[in-house]
């Protein structure tokens, strides 16, 4: 079993309910090999943590940037909560060392692992919120996620491909792009998606990813290239 006391010490946290902390790291694949483990997998916590993360970041942006319009705040928030950012923060905090995965999943690195880390980060936020309340979750997110905001603004990292494609499509054609899932496959714990981006009825490009968000971003990148709007 992983040493979660070490994890708490590293982050300066102390969970009242240790099971909640451990559950945040339980990937579905781990329970397939360890059905008697005694804790659920982390997907329900991830669902909760996603909402908590979004609320705390939205509240912060709303209060701290009163002069900014909704569109800009939305772009900043998207850059803070996307899978790439959450993976990066999870890696910095050493989440990789505490993941509870199946033997097969332990060997999988690359995109699949990044997606697991991002989901685990959200699950951890959910467990922290349940165990220690809104204030503790708020402090944690400000310390480790919102600290990235100045870099995002300074380097215009909020200009993701999806936002850029939408701006170009509206400016040049007066059309807002629409995204549709074309295909999904693979086991529940490692599902992949193909998403198409459309301008009216025309399919411009398709993208693949381990989440709909990732597939949409990939489709937008390809669409920018197809249309020559880079």
C-alpha 48/C-alpha 206 separation (Å) is 30
Q: Which of 8, 40, 43, 50 is catalytic?
A: 50
27 and 108 both lie in a single domain = yes
> pLDDT digits over 29-62, tens only?
999 899 999 999 999 999 999 999 999 999 999 9
Is residue 212 within 8 Å of residue 181, measured between CB atoms?
Answer: yes
State which residues form the domain around 217: 161-227
193 and 218 both lie in a single domain = yes
25 and 139 both lie in a single domain = yes
Concerning whether 91 is annotated as a catalytic residue, the answer is: no
117 and 175 both lie in a single domain = no
Domain end, chosen from 154, 177, 203, is at 154
Is 46 one of the annotated binding-site residues? yes
Concerning whether 202 is annotated as a catalytic residue, the answer is: no
Is 122 one of the annotated binding-site residues? yes
pTM score of the predicted model: 0.77
Mean pLDDT of the chain: 91
C-alpha 126/C-alpha 77 separation (Å) is 18
Is 42 one of the annotated binding-site residues? no
Is residue 194 within 8 Å of residue 182, measured between CB atoms?
Answer: yes
140 and 78 both lie in a single domain = yes
Q: C-alpha distances in angstroms, 33 versus 1, 61, 105, 202?
A: 14, 42, 11, 45
The structural domain count of the chain equals: 2
Task: Determine what percent of the chain is predicted with pLDDT higher than 70.
Answer: 99
Domain end, chosen from 104, 133, 154, is at 154
83 and 193 both lie in a single domain = no
pLDDT at residue 69, rounded to an integer:
87
Q: Which of 105, 122, 160, 218 is catalytic?
A: 122
């Amino acid at each position: 079993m992983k040493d979660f006391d070490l994890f708490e010490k590293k982050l300066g946290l102390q969970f009242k309910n240790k099971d909640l902390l451990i559950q945040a790291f339980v990937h579905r694949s781990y329970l397939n090999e360890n059905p008697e483990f005694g804790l659920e997998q982390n997907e329900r916590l991830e669902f909760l943590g996603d909402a908590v993360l979004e609320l705390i970041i939205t509240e912060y942006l709303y209060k701290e940037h009163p002069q900014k319009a909704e569109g800009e705040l939305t772009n900043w928030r998207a850059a803070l909560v996307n899978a790439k950012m959450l993976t990066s923060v999870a890696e910095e905090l050493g989440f990789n060392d505490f993941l509870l995965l199946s033997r097969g999943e332990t060997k999988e690195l690359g995109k699949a692992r990044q997606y697991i880390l991002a989901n685990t980060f959200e699950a951890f936020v959910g467990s922290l919120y349940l165990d220690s309340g809104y204030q503790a979750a708020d402090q944690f997110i400000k310390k480790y996620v919102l600290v990235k905001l100045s870099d995002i603004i300074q380097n215009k990292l909020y200009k993701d491909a999806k936002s850029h494609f939408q701006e170009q499509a509206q400016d040049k054609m007066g059309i807002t792009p629409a995204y549709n899932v074309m295909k999904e496959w693979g086991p529940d714990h490692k599902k992949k998606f193909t998403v198409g981006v459309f301008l009216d009825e025309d399919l411009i490009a398709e993208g693949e990813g381990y989440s709909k968000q990732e597939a949409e971003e990939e489709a937008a990148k390809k669409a920018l290239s197809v249309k020559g709007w880079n």
